[in-house]
Amino acid sequence: MVLTREVATTTAERSFDEFVAARGRALGRTAYLLTGDHHLAEDLLQTALMQTARHWERIHGSPEAYARRILYHQNISWWRRKRWQESPLLDHDSPAPAADPDLRVTLEEALRRLTVRQRTILVLRYFEDLTEAQTAAELGISLGAVKSMTRQALGRLRTLAPELAELIGSSDSA
């Protein structure tokens, strides 16, 4: 009986290790975009993988989908706890520093100044390429909330980095 359990544990651990080796880097990219910070991203990835291991036997579908959901929710949960540390909104609404010739850096900077919810919505919609309905399902919020938060996030990006207008498009096209 004990032996059977040990064998099962070894098999599960091996399959988990294979999953981490195969999908860890992709998950890490999402974690980085969600947090915008290298160290925070590592912490977030660690938490998501630990939770995935914790429920490994109970995950019936794709472990990657589960790990991603952990990433999204855990990031927002951290933000809730550390909300008091966030700077006032007005500070963020001022334009980004002088136009950077490197568009990537400007976008990265602007993303960092969004709220966690807004950043998460943009990452899900435009990096993970989920539909509005899929995003709503992933985050457990309504379709209307996804639409309005996407609109707000894009509008804020325009305010924070006017030079990204071409990248983001007009509010109508968003």
Q: How far is the CB of 90 from another protein (least distance, A)?
A: 25
Q: Taking CB under 8 A as the rule, which mask of x and - marks residues 68-97 in contact with another protein?
A: -xx--xx--x--------------------
Q: What is the DSSP letter of 95?
A: P
CA distance 3 to 163: 63
Token digits of residue 31? 């974690």
Site string for another protein, 92-121 (x = CB under 8 A): -----------xx--xx--x----------
Q: What phi and psi values does residue 79 have, to the nearest 5 degrees?
A: -60, -40
Question: Tell me, what DSSP letter sits at residue 125?
Answer: I
CB of 113 to another protein, least distance (A): 15
Looking at the Cβ atoms of 103 and 145, the one nearer to another protein is 103
Residues 6+ apart with CB under 8 A from 139: 72, 73, 76, 120, 121, 124, 146
Report the 10 Å Cβ neighbour count for 85.
Answer: 7
Provide the terminal-to-terminal Cα distance of the chain, rounded to the nearest Å: 59
Query: Closest separation between CB of residue 129 and another protein, Å?
Result: 7
Task: Check binding of 31 to another protein (CB under 8 A).
Answer: yes
Binding residues (CB under 8 A) for another protein: these are 9, 13, 16-17, 20, 24-25, 28-33, 38, 41-42, 45-46, 49-56, 58-60, 66, 69-70, 73-74, 77, 103-104, 107-108, 111, 122-123, 126-127, 129, 140, 154, 166-170, 173-174
